[in-house]
Amino acid sequence: MKICPTCERRLDESWAECPYCKREREAEGSHDARDLFVEEKQAMPDKTPRNPTKVDQPFGRRETKYQIPPEKTEPAPRASSSADNRKIVGVLVSYTWRPEGQLFEVREGRTHIGAGQIKDDPEHRQVEVYCPSDELLSGDHAVILVQQNEFYIQDLLSVNGTFLNGEKLKPSAVHELPSNTDIKAGKTTFRFVRFDPKLAEHPEAPRQEPTKETPHDRTLLR
């Protein structure tokens, strides 16, 4: 019987070397090489930032970060241009949100009331009567129409409706809008007052003929 002098294990007669001792030497060599690699790696300065390795991840594997694409948001409404050359034919006055009151101009054509942008507007313009504090007000809630000095109001399929002197308007129907009328849209109440531009025109002052100046005596210098 053949016995290994190092580990004292029984060996086969045909074995020239103890496989048990050989396996232990190879295992010790691999550990030594790995320890040497780690020591050299720690001694070298590493300028590249590394993500911490989690316990449940394999050795040397880095955590992959994925960027979540931003949510698609609607374009913010653009404020209506201040250079509006349409004639002012009325006003809306509201004391709902400010104790001192708010004044909104009503011009010829369309004047939109709401809390956002005008529907189907390619420039995403803000409504003319803009009340962002009213959460019950639709983005484009109602519109005042002025054509040939005649005034109308229309509810634009709003969620909470539009009321004229306490009476709810039919959606999309056009109603006459008299002066000194209360309009309620959402939580906001307006008093509408119309103007007659013809009465605002100042008549021309009568021409005065130039008065003849009386001749003055000449002053002689001596």
Taking the C-alpha atoms of residue 84 and residue 124, their distance in angstroms, rounded to an integer, is 16
* Ranges 26-35, 87-96, 162-171: which has the least confidence: 26-35
Taking the C-alpha atoms of residue 82 and residue 18, their distance in angstroms, rounded to an integer, is 97
Contact between 128 and 104 under an 8 Å Cβ cutoff? The reply is yes
Q: Name which of 159, 151, 148, 162 is nearest 198 in CA terms.
A: 148
Rounded-to-10 torsion of CA 173, 176, 177, 180: -130
pLDDT at 60: 52
Termini Cα distance of the chain: 163
Residue 168 Cα distances to 6, 142, 163, 185, angstroms: 105, 12, 4, 10
Give residue 197's pLDDT band: very low, low, confident or very high (50, 70, 90): low
Taking the C-alpha atoms of residue 154 and residue 172, their distance in angstroms, rounded to an integer, is 6
- Tell me what the pLDDT averaged over the chain comes to: 79
Taking the C-alpha atoms of residue 164 and residue 39, their distance in angstroms, rounded to an integer, is 85
Residue 15 Cα distances to 6, 18, 19, 20, 41, angstroms: 15, 7, 8, 11, 40
Give residue 37's pLDDT band: very low, low, confident or very high (50, 70, 90): low
Extract the tokens encoding 134: 């009213």
The per-residue pLDDT for range 153-191, each reduced to its tens digit, is 999 999 999 999 999 999 999 999 999 999 999 999 999
Interior angle at CA 191, CA 119 and CA 161, nearest 5: 45
pLDDT at 147: 93
pLDDT at 135: 96
Which residue's entry shows tokens 């005065």? 208
- How far is C-alpha 118 from the chain's CA centre? 15
123: DSSP letter: T
Average pLDDT over residues 106-135: 95
CATH number for the segment(s) 88-198:
2.60.200.20
Which residue's entry shows tokens 């930032």? 49
